[in-house]
Amino acid sequence: MISLRVKVKCSHCGKQVEKLEAREISPRNYECFDCFKSQRPRNPDQTASALKYNLYCERCRYKFQSARKVCPYCNASDYLEVAGPSADELLSL
């Protein structure tokens, strides 16, 4: 079996890397793994989990965390409220 080592150009740094050492962003647009690693947030506060809301849906009585203010069960946003403290949190006070 023949393995061709095709070189592609990184769209961020312009370096020529093998196609196996890059990820495809869009057709004919590649990013090397070094640029990918350098652009990832290292601080956990910068991740999407820091932007999640504690929500409660009154329609289906479901408590959940989400970055979008839409219930995953009933797909409604008009019955959502910010969730209050849980029973465990109230007992620990």
Residues 6+ apart with CB under 8 A from 65: 52, 53, 54, 55
pTM, rounded to two decimals: 0.42
Q: How high is the pLDDT of residue 5?
A: 83
Q: How high is the pLDDT of residue 16?
A: 94
CA-CA distance, 22 to 31, in Å (whole number)? 5
Q: How high is the pLDDT of residue 79?
A: 86
Q: How high is the pLDDT of residue 48?
A: 52
pLDDT in tens, 62-85: 999 888 888 988 888 888 888 777
pLDDT in tens, 22-55: 988 888 899 999 988 887 665 555 555 567 888 9
> By C-alpha distance, which of 54, 50, 59, 57 is closest to 83?
54
